[in-house]
């Protein structure tokens, strides 16, 4: 999880507010597009390098892992309780 300073969050949130407030209207394709646009803008900051590629793939993997830990696992555990365990 990117536990960044509150001052940095305020700056980032100020710029993200309009996009995030409409998130409930997005399709999965829209979400993919937004993430892709951010990643492409970030890697275009300089000449593309292995470090940039490794950073992006690592960040996306970390986001996926954290989402799984914080959202998917609790959801699946709740469904297991309601519907019964398969194992």
Residues 54-75: pLDDT tens digits?
999 999 999 999 999 999 999 9
Taken as a whole, the chain contains a residue count of 87
pLDDT above 90: residue 2: no
Residues 21 and 53 grouped into a single domain: no
Confidence of residue 47 (pLDDT cuts 50, 70, 90): confident
Residues 39 and 6 grouped into a single domain: yes
Residues 56 and 74 grouped into a single domain: yes
Mean pLDDT of the chain: 93
Report the candidate in 26, 77, 29 with the shortest Cα–Cα distance to residue 86.
77
Residues 41 and 12 grouped into a single domain: yes
Q: What is the spatial distance between Cα 21 and Cα 81, in angstroms, rounded to a whole number?
A: 32
What HEC string does 9-54 produce? Answer: HHHHHHHHHHHHHCHHHCCHHHHHHHHHHHHHHHHCCCCCCHHHHH
Q: How many domains does the chain have?
A: 2
């Amino acid at each position: 999880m990117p536990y960044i300073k509150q001052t940095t969050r305020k700056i980032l949130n100020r710029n993200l507010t309009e996009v995030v407030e409409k998130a409930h209207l997005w399709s999965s394709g829209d979400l993919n597009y937004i993430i892709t646009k951010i990643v492409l803008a970030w890697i275009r900051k300089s000449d593309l390098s292995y470090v940039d590629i490794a950073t992006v793939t690592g960040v996306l993997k970390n986001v996926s892992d954290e989402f799984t830990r914080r959202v998917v696992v609790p959801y699946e555990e709740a469904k297991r309780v309601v519907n019964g365990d398969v194992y």
